[in-house]
Structure 1
Amino acid sequence: MGTTTMGVKLDDATRERIKSAASRIDRTPHWLIKQAIFNYLEKLENDETLPELPALLSGAANESDDASEPTEEPYQPFLEFAEQILPQSVSRAAITAAWRRPETDAVPMLLEQARLPQPLGEQAHKLAYQLAEKLRNQKTASGRAGMVQSLLQEFSLSSQEGVALMCLAEALLRIPDKATRDALIRDKISNGNWQSHIGRSPSLFVNAATWGLLFTGKLVSTHNETSLSRSLNRIIGKSGEPLIRKGVDMAMRLMGEQFVTGETIAEALANARKLEEKGFRYSYDMLGEAALTAADAQAYMVSYQQAIHAIGKASNGRGIYEGPGISIKLSALHPRYSRAQYDRVMEELYPRLKSLTLLARQYDIGINIDAEEADRLEISLDLLEKLCFEPELAGWNGIGFVIQAYQKRCPVCH
């Protein structure tokens, strides 16, 4: 595959002229520049007369007289990096161009796409209302699930308190040390308006939890205030926060369990069986962080292989649409998954991605490439493009790709 051989700096006006000219013929600026180079090169090779040559040749003659004087080449610090940039297709160039698109351009386009014809809009609103009403009125589940359901109904995600609880529910499951957990509890609980929720729920558990959160919020919010005595702060620091941490930790872990299907693939598959019988479909995500070492990457690779075998056997030939699938995180498969390590990613990470995809195809289960940080989208698309053109995967539609919906590039990724 060819690479860019020159880095040429152009002013904004020239760039706009090239972009405008390319759009008129439905091509990218990269294509237009490349064609111009080829046309000019062909004329030179055929000894055709060019109006620019006389001036250039006379300048070259003058330079030969001063050949004894050494000339210093201008230093271009980013030239080597620029030479690694690969030519882009029309669709890929559109994605790159949308990365930092002004909001004044992006928002009107999204608003236009979000508008539905009036009959269809009314139909969607009616269906959404019916679903919400049915969920609100259905009998509350019993046991631990019922308590969490009532708590979530009271503290909705549209409120500051609900968002704080959701942050805690997810984050506390991942934080191993006490100091960081205490800091997170102080941050998320101390500013909540918990008084407004007292007595509003018919659930004794929710009201008790609200009083606890109110008391906890008052307790931790005074941690750095000078209005109370230092002795009270010492009491909070030595005995209050461990007690708070334990109580909030237990409540949040109880909530977190409602959003994690299982701690292992086998447990998740077993827990999902009842809902699958009702028509629900699952794509299993192996929760974890990015690999920091080669050993981490190898461990994640083995975990993904084991998960694909387990999910594939559970799918039992139902196919990519009717059966379960798996989501994989590319940053878990290589410790240096970044643009600066492009060659290593293609040489070391890609074979692992291909191996997992081929294994998923053996079982005919879907495999999704999970979303990464925004600056990794381009390299993720390079891996996806290479994977989709593998002869061994021709005709198979089981490859999926996840992108953050809030990115400005998302609307052109199709």
Structure 2
Amino acid sequence: MLNKLRTRIDANLYADEDAALQALIEQAALSPEARRAITTRATALVRDIRASARPGLMEVFLAEYGLSTDEGIALMCLAEALLRVPDASTIDALIEDKIAPSNWGKHLGKSSSSLVNASTWALMLTGKVLEDREPGIAGHLRGAVKRLGEPVIRNAVARAMREMGRQFVLGEDIHKAMKRAAGMEAKGYTYSYDMLGEAARTEDDARRYHLAYSQAITSIAAACTHADTRQNPGISVKLSALHPRYEVAQKDRVMTELVPRVRALAGLAKAAGMGFNIDAEEADRLALSLDVIEAVLSDPSLAGWDGFGVVVQAYGQRASGVIDWLYALSERLDRRIMVRLVKGAYWDSEIKHAQVIGAPGFPVFTRKAATDISYIANARKLLGMVDRIYPQFATHNAHTVA
């Protein structure tokens, strides 16, 4: 059964999108009454969230500088790129490249927040300082101001980016993250911690990430006080961080070297009574990830443990097949598996990669509406598998929640 399902998954890598979508539409069909109820519920959710607390600074800032604006895109690129730049001269060049060309003046006075408006002033003035367009004595004076001001600008931008990062990252390390999470946990919330980082490029990278995951699991274990794994915090693991050649061409090496590492981490999580999720990654690694998951979960040392989980991306055309395969695996092993359904995190790169290699289609749905339909259809599928699957759902969309 598992082999047949894997064959179907592999065959649907570049499935006809319209045909796949039609099947999902039938599975996700909603009556007019259900649609009206969902709209009412989603509206109420948004209204309640907006009324329950004042929007934070970052929410107001992003409302003005959204990703639909050139300035918003420039700020997001700057925030992401600064994390990777080690030296001052490159940081200065990066700031100049992203801030100087943008039209900050059009945002002046538009926000409801005085602090955001002040930030707009700062960005506009920074852009003026960094420009190099004026000739003659004015240009020389501006050059002097630019050289003197660069350290100040660099520090100010770095501090602003750190504050922006706090809105999306719980803490710089697991201890800070758990400390910050304590308030919400006291209200009954639980967390699945994820360690941000790039894929391992070297064996040293992989060993360092493995050690970091091990230490994180040990730290989180102290907060696992419930007998039910679902009531305890958990951790998500990125397979590409644990092996420098996590690719199909190196399958033999991956199965020999990566599987024991993942199995060791899973053993620590089992002993702690916490959830342990395998993060979803790019489509061309899906088949390999299923091989690793099957090998790890089949190990006798993990028998009887229901805390192992897998993240499934609804934008992937093979999501439904993966869920069927996980259900069949749980039946064969006589245990439950956690399955976390998400929308998907690599859409842009998946589309570009398929175009670059001249693929006959795309491994992901090309329209957002199709992903939403896939999410609803697969959520229904998961809710019909609760005898073996513990469904988990992650989305920012109030309509999807409703």
Q: Name 1:229's counterpart in structure 2.
A: 135
Rounded to whole Å, the distance in 2 between the matches of 1:244 and 1:216 is 7
Asked if the contact 2:229–2:307 (Cα under 8 Å) also holds between the matched residues in 1, the reply is yes
| Identical positions, percent | 47
- 2:306 is aligned to 397
Q: Which 10-residue stretch deviates more, 404-413 or 233-242?
A: 233-242
Q: Does 1:131 align with 2:45?
A: yes
1:174-189 correspondence to structure 2 within 5 Å: 174-186=84-96, 188-189=98-99
Which amino acid letter does the alignment assign opposite residue 154 of structure 1? E
Find out whether 1:275 has 2:189 as its counterpart: no
Aligned to 2:75: 165
Change (3 A) 1:187 1:89: farther
Task: Tell whether 2:116 aligns with 1:202.
Answer: no
What is residue 297 of structure 2 aligned with on the other side?
A: 388
Post-superposition shift, 1:207? 0.3
Could you say which residue in structure 2 is the equivalent of 1:375? 284
**C-alpha distance in structure 1 between counterparts of 2:153 and 2:229, whole Å:** 46
Shift in CA distance, 217/129, structure 1 to aligned 2, threshold 3 Å: farther
What does 1:254-273 align with in structure 2 at a 5 Å threshold? Answer: 254-273=163-182
1:333 to 239, 242, 245: 242
The one-letter code of the counterpart of 1:96 is D
1:151 paired with 2:61, answer yes
Equivalent residue, structure 2, for 1:117: 31
C-alpha offsets along residues 58-80 of structure 1, whole Å, 9 cap, x if unaligned?
A: xxxxxxxxxxxxxxxxxxxxxxx
* Equivalences, count: 320
Residue 116 of structure 1: CA displacement?
3.0
Counterpart Cα distance in 1 of 2:301 and 2:149:
61
Query: 1:412–1:197: structure 2 CA closer, same or farther, 3 Å change rule?
Result: farther
If asked which structure has higher relative contact order (CA below 8 Å, sep 6+), I would say: 2
Larger radius of gyration: 1
Distance 1:188 1:407 in 2: 33
CA distance in 2, matches of 1:116, 1:193: 45
Asked whether 1:306 is paired with 2:215, we answer: yes
User: Alignment partner of 2:33: what SS?
Assistant: helix
Pair 1:237–1:340, CA change in 2 (3 A): farther
- Give the letter aligned to residue 98 of structure 1: N
Q: Distance in 1 between matches of 2:20 and 2:7?
A: 17
SS in structure 2 at match of 1:151 = helix
Residue 197 to residue 119, structure 1, CA distance change in 2 (3 Å): farther
Bigger mean CA deviation after superposition, 183-192 or 343-352: 183-192
* CA deviation after TM superposition for structure 1 residue 403, in Å: 4.1
- Partner SS, residue 222 of structure 2: helix
SS at match of 2:112: coil
Change over 3 Å in CA distance of 1:296–1:411 after alignment to 2: same
* Contact map agreement 1:317 1:363 (CA 8 A) in 2: no
Distance 1:193 1:181 in 2: 21
* Cα distance, 1:287 vs structure 2: 1.7
Match of 1:229, as an amino acid? Answer: P
Secondary structure (helix, strand or coil) at the match of 1:413 reads helix
1:362 Cα deviation after fit:
0.9
Q: Distance in 2 between matches of 1:300 and 1:400?
A: 19
In the other structure, the counterpart of 2:203 is 294
Contact 1:265-1:310 at 8 Å conserved across structures: yes
Counterpart for residue 93 of structure 1: 7
- SS at the partner of 2:223? helix
- Cα contact 2:238–2:278 (8 A) shared by 1: yes
> Which residue is 2:54 aligned to?
140
The CA deviation at 1:179 is 4.6
Query: 2-side partners of 1:408 and 1:236: how far apart?
Result: 54
Report if the CA contact (8 A) 1:170-1:256 is conserved: no
Contact 1:297 1:334 in 2 (8 A): yes
Contact kept in structure 1, 2:129 and 2:146, CA below 8 Å = no
Q: CA deviation at 1:272?
A: 0.5
In 2: Cα distance, 1:125 partner to 1:216 partner: 44
Contact between 2:111 and 2:117, CA under 8 Å: does it hold in 1?
A: yes
Distance change >3 Å, CA 300–CA 98, structure 1 → 2:
same
Asked if the contact 2:192/2:234 (under 8 Å) is kept, the reply is yes
Instruction: Give the Cα separation in 1 of the matches to 2:283 and 2:242.
Output: 18
Q: Take 2:29 and 2:103, find their aligned partners in 1: how far apart are those partners?
A: 35
**Unaligned ranges ≥5, structure 2:** 324-402
- The answer to whether the 8 Å contact 2:209/2:242 transfers is yes
Following superposition, the deviation at residue 381 of structure 1 comes to 1.1
1:352 aligns with 2:258: no
Q: Distance in 2 between matches of 1:184 and 1:403?
A: 36
CA distance in 2, matches of 1:189, 1:366: 43
1:327 CA drift (Å): 0.9
Report the counterpart of residue 124 of structure 2 in structure 1.
214
Structure 1 unaligned blocks of 5 or more: 1-26, 28-87
1:406 to 1:248, Cα distance in 2 relative to 1, 3 A:
farther
Query: What do you get for the CA RMSD once the two structures are aligned?
Result: 3.0
Counterpart of 1:406 in structure 2 is 315
Deviation of residue 228 (structure 1)?
Answer: 4.4
